[in-house]
Structure 1
Amino acid sequence: MTKQFNLQQLLALHYVYPLPLNKLQRLLKEIHSLQNLQFVPIELLAKILGMTENKAQALQTSYLRIISTPIADSYEEHQISAIPYTSELYPKSLLQLIDPPTVLYAKGDVRLLTANKKIACIGSRNATNYTITALQTILPPLIQQEYVIVSGLAKGADTLAHRATIHYGGKTIAVLGHGFFHLYPKENKEIATHIAKYHLLLSEYPPYVGPKKWHFPMRNRIISGLSNALVVTEAALKSGTLITTEHALDHGKDVFVVPGPIHSEQSKGTNKLLKEGAILIWDGYQILEELQMFQIKN
């Protein structure tokens, strides 16, 4: 922990206002310690966090109400691990983001966060059988080399990637766009339960936070940030998948793309990525060769 806060103070603040790390650092720069949060004038708090005074007042009031609640114990009762950015378990690669999560909430095998080899596998929510075929040739070589497969547990390609990883005996991390007291989509309850028991569910949102449309683009930066590289199976031209690839490219990570049929709507985005310089692949061995070449160069 840092002298600027203890875990209880941080979890209390994050519970009432799940702010990203850049905002927390801005706040601490001004008030020096979360111990001082209860004494900060409302107008100053509103200015620091870029919110209305009414919201700042509500934040301060909620913080004072919950500060004495043993939040960490409550999380533990629900098998939830709260991992602040100061923890050894917190992936250092996430700190390279503009707005890293201040706290990660995890269910399952938290040791997967420390794995050196992670690859994101994503694609269209309307994935076709083409994605299933692609995963059959892409994932086994990666799993054999002990790569952890990261995805978002969304409908379509994400779910297929998690299921295929489990089928081939690999390990997977599912990054959610909501807290653990909710599940989206609901039809993924069975696989989410399995991942929480044998693999890892991960979120930057406190357990009570439900799914919101804008949470999923935010989730995508974590999927990219956790991973050494990104694999895209299918994607339409207007797709959240392309947001994730932008995050990966912005941080200098390789983006591997499966070419698709020219008549398929779900391949127009991937084929566009290939035109723009993504790495064309059709099996996992190519990915391993490319990553090995990158390591030799560095």
Structure 2
Amino acid sequence: MEKRLLALHYFFPVPKNRLNRLYEIDPNLENFHTYTAEILSKILKITSLKATRLKANLLENSHTPYEVLYKQYKITPIPFSNPLYPEHLLKLIDPPAVLYMKGDPTILSHKFKVAIIGSRKATTYSRDAMSLIVPPLVKNNTVIVSGLAKGADTLAHEAAIAYGGKTIAVLGHGLFHLYPKENSHLASEISQNHVLITEYPPYVKPERWTFPMRNRIISGLSDAVVVTESAIKSGTMITVEHALENGKDVYAVPGPVTSDLSAGPNRLIDEGAQPLWNGFQIVESLVFMH
């Protein structure tokens, strides 16, 4: 079944909820390749043109050994039915149908994961905050999750590595691409000793809409979300919304009222997020939660 899902997902990379109807009709995906474009169109709720293209691609590539090709590029595909798939993600309304990973898969099963996110324009204030937040988390075997973007994400991954911890970078594109380019060295380090992960097949390029989708995975993987610096309206706040919808603890680093990048965290604190200045505050609640 997993091989058949990989073939379908390569040409139809959508979240699992978009495939639920297909699984109801064909639980092991044994027959979907026999369906006409018209039937595929109805089941998957796509246009006739898209269904015709999908049908053609599936037929043309029916003997392609996707798992072998991924292995050549050191990519590990993890369908939702695979034991390596993080259980936390299945609680999302729209969990990824497949995750594509480079790195150490055992990191995905670590007991504690905390997302640290913030502005792409993060200042040294974020770096200073992380020097107080990350070491206690690392000391307690907590994996740091972020999105490999410029600014706060980069600082979070670098802090996890610098303090001897593990980190997961969730990408908004396939593993044959990298955005931003200036993080190529960091991405290489993470792909070898930590985890790079994405819900997109390797060929998918970064697009404006792929990054907001990526944010739900960052919060979905994590037990708690930390915001260092952020404007009030930003992608960071989209991740926070996902976290709150899924009952995750949200922490915010209080900042000077004169800083636009502290406006987001300060607003979150006003709305009920927990103010954070030391990683031990999170460690205590994680132990309590588990």
Q: Give TM class, smaller chain.
A: over 0.9
Structure 1 counterpart of 2:101: 106
Matched residues in 2 for 1:81 and 1:237: separation?
37
Matched residues in 2 for 1:123 and 1:183: separation?
20
- Give the secondary structure class of the aligned counterpart of 1:62: helix
Gaps of 5+ in 1: 1-5
Structure 1 counterpart of 2:52: 57
Letter in 2 for 1:75: Y
Matched residues in 1 for 2:165 and 2:33: separation?
47
Segments of 4+ in structure 1 off by > 6 A?
A: none
* TM-score when normalising by structure 1: 0.94
Q: State the 1:292 CA deviation.
A: 3.7
- The answer to whether 1:151 aligns with 2:139 is no
* Deviation by residue 1:137-161 (Cα, 9 ceiling, x = unmatched): 0000010011000000001100000
Contact 1:121 1:149 in 2 (8 A): yes
- The answer to whether 1:121 aligns with 2:116 is yes
Bigger shift: residues 282-291 or 64-73 = 282-291
- Give the secondary structure class of the aligned counterpart of 2:145: strand
Letter in 2 for 1:193: S
Aligned residues, how many?
A: 290
Matched residues in 2 for 1:285 and 1:263: separation?
27
Matched residues in 2 for 1:90 and 1:32: separation?
19
* Deviation by residue 1:110-153 (Cα, 9 ceiling, x = unmatched): 10111111111111111011101100100000100110000000
Letter in 2 for 1:192: A
Matched residues in 2 for 1:33 and 1:170: separation?
39
Structure 1 counterpart of 2:77: 82
Aligned with 1:92 (options 67, 87, 92):
87
Structure 1 counterpart of 2:214: 219
1:166-185 mapped onto 2 (5 Å cutoff): 166-185=161-180
> Cα–Cα, structure 1 residues 283 and 35, in superposed 2: closer, same or farther, change >3 Å?
same
Matched residues in 1 for 2:211 and 2:192: separation?
23
Q: State the 1:32 CA deviation.
A: 4.8
Contact 1:8 1:67 in 2 (8 A): no
Aligned with 2:127 (options 119, 123, 132):
132
Matched residues in 1 for 2:29 and 2:154: separation?
40
Q: State the 1:8 CA deviation.
A: 2.0
Matched residues in 2 for 1:45 and 1:33: separation?
16
Matched residues in 2 for 1:11 and 1:290: separation?
38
Letter in 2 for 1:246: E
Structure 1 counterpart of 2:15: 20
Letter in 1 for 2:189: H
Q: State the 1:38 CA deviation.
A: 2.6
Contact 1:257 1:278 in 2 (8 A): yes
Matched residues in 2 for 1:227 and 1:7: separation?
25
Gaps of 5+ in 2: none
Identity among equivalent pairs (%): 55
Letter in 1 for 2:237: L
* TM-score when normalising by structure 2: 0.97
Structure 2 counterpart of 1:282: 277
Matched residues in 1 for 2:288 and 2:91: separation?
23
- Give the secondary structure class of the aligned counterpart of 2:208: coil
1:233-272 mapped onto 2 (5 Å cutoff): 233-272=228-267
- Give the secondary structure class of the aligned counterpart of 2:31: helix
Q: State the 1:290 CA deviation.
A: 3.1
Matched residues in 1 for 2:84 and 2:28: separation?
23
Bigger shift: residues 200-209 or 29-38 = 29-38
**Once superposed, what is the RMSD of the aligned Cα atoms?**
1.2
Contact 1:31 1:40 in 2 (8 A): no
Structure 2 counterpart of 1:3: none
Letter in 1 for 2:70: Y
Matched residues in 1 for 2:219 and 2:289: separation?
18
Aligned with 2:25 (options 27, 30, 36):
30
Q: State the 1:80 CA deviation.
A: 0.4
Aligned with 1:202 (options 197, 217, 221):
197
